[in-house]
Amino acid sequence: MRGIAYWLSAVVVLTGVVVCMAPASGHADGQAAPIFGVTIPPGYRDWRLISVAHEAGDLNDFRAILGNDVAIRAYREEKLPFPDGTIIVRLAWSYIASEENNKVFGRAQSFVAGAPINVQLMVKDSRRYAATGGWGFAQFKDGKPADEAVHKTCSPCHESAKARDFVFTHYSP
Amino acid sequence: MRGIAYWLSAVVVLTGVVVCMAPASGHADGQAAPIFGVTIPPGYRDWRLISVAHEAGDLNDFRAILGNDVAIRAYREEKLPFPDGTIIVRLAWSYIASEENNKVFGRAQSFVAGAPINVQLMVKDSRRYAATGGWGFAQFKDGKPADEAVHKTCSPCHESAKARDFVFTHYSP
């Protein structure tokens, strides 16, 4: 009986692990971004939400910022600097008017996410990325990394958020 | 040895369950919304992202729409109608300009989520909510449900999305 109970519980453990890992969605073909060598983490589309944003102007995108477990824990505990292992991913879609929602509201007020634009990542590894505040950066579109010139702009831009460990996004409860 | 292995694996099982359930964040004090009797599901803030939205005009809010595992699976498999057990939660925050981001971009273009406004829920139970297309609706602010008058407006409004099982939000990859 104990043997059966052991194997049964082992099955439950494995099932639990599979459920926890969840199906990895999004692109994860292993191509590394230039300079930082960051790759797309499998299953990032299943990560929890940090917050949302909209950049108007030339970008005109809708953003969702997700974090892995280390990131979410650090945000909720208001821990700065973020610990090694933190990964923050910023998804962007085009910012479009929703005609179907506007019909319901009876006025032009509704904006939703359209086609995907790109995915950006911040990966905390204080040794590997010591020269850029402990963060590695990456931008991907359809699973392909942007070029070196794009990646050279990441760290200088994030410099202005140095007081918050180079991270712009605040957590939304 | 088998005894020890059994108890060790039992501990691992329980640990796995705890990790899977994750810390329940957000309000979950069990108050039921009028008409539909919907309560806030524990841990909803940890659910996966369906999409984002912005309602301008009088609402002027930023929205994130999250789903439980049943909802996410149905969305990804493009399954309509949504199966019983589906829960979709819409979080809303005020839509505010980000002065600190605007400084970085050098122009006024950045909008982020401000203070939380309220949380809305759709719960699929085709028997219990047969009179309203199989959906129970709820709105909460700071853990307290809105009044009956508010809840009377939910189903008639969602009627216009009948072709998509009364759900407005599309999934964003």
A26/A148: higher pLDDT: A148
Q: Look up residue A57 and give its DSSP letter.
A: T
- Tokens for B71, please give them: 């909802």
Q: Is position B158 within any domain?
A: yes
Chain B's closest residue to A6, CA to CA, is B6
Question: What's the rounded mean pLDDT across residues A43-56?
Answer: 97
How close is the nearest chain B Cα to the Cα of A41, in Å?
A: 15
Q: Is the pLDDT of residue A72 over 70?
A: yes
Q: Look up residue A22 and give its DSSP letter.
A: -
A5/A105: higher pLDDT: A105
CB B98 to CB A48 under 8 A?
Answer: no
Q: Is position A20 within any domain?
A: no
Q: Is position B140 within any domain?
A: yes
pLDDT of residue A3: 52
Question: What's the rounded mean pLDDT across residues A74-83?
Answer: 98
The answer to whether residues B100 and B112 touch, using CB atoms and an 8 Å cutoff, is no
Please identify every stretch of chain B with a pLDDT value under 50, giving residue numbers as ranges. Answer: 1-2, 5-27
Question: What's the rounded mean pLDDT across residues A132-161?
Answer: 97
A171/A14: higher pLDDT: A171
pLDDT of residue A105: 86
Least CB-CB distance to A13: which of B13, B59, B101? B13
Chain A's closest residue to B43, CA to CA, is A48
pLDDT of residue B105: 86
User: Residues of A with CB below 8 A from B47's CB?
Assistant: 48
User: Residues of B with CB below 8 A from A2's CB?
Assistant: 2-3, 6
Give the CATH number for residue A154.
Answer: 3.50.70.20
| pTM listed for this prediction | 0.84
Q: Which of B19, B52, B69 should one mutate to test binding to chain A, selecting the residue with the greatest count of A CBs within 10 A?
A: B52
CB B57 to CB A105 under 8 A?
Answer: yes
Least CB-CB distance to A113: which of B56, B76, B172? B172
Question: What's the rounded mean pLDDT across residues A9-24?
Answer: 39
Q: Is position A145 within any domain?
A: yes
Q: Is position B31 within any domain?
A: yes
Range of the domain at B117: 24-164
**What distance lies between CA B9 and its chain's CA centroid?**
34
Number of domains in chain B: 1
Q: Is position A173 within any domain?
A: no
CB A161 to CB B110 under 8 A?
Answer: no
Q: Which of A43, A95, A130, A15 is nearest to B111 (CA)?
A: A95
Q: Is position A151 within any domain?
A: yes
Return the number of CB contacts < 8 Å for A and B.
149
How close is the nearest chain A Cα to the Cα of B74, in Å?
A: 13
How close is the nearest chain A Cα to the Cα of B36, in Å?
A: 22
Q: Is the pLDDT of residue A104 over 90?
A: no
Q: Which of A146, A129, A149, A127 is nearest to A138 (CA)?
A: A146
Q: Is position B16 within any domain?
A: no
How close is the nearest chain A Cα to the Cα of B8, in Å?
A: 9
pLDDT grade for A49, boundaries at 50, 70 and 90 = very high
Which residues have C-beta within 8 Å of that of residue A134, sequence separation ≥ 6? A81, A84, A124, A125, A126, A165, A166
How close is the nearest chain A Cα to the Cα of B99, in Å?
A: 11
3-state secondary structure A70-92: HHHHHHHCCCCCCCCCCEEEEEE
Chain B's closest residue to A68, CA to CA, is B46
- Tokens for B102, please give them: 């605007």
Least CB-CB distance to A52: which of B16, B23, B113? B113
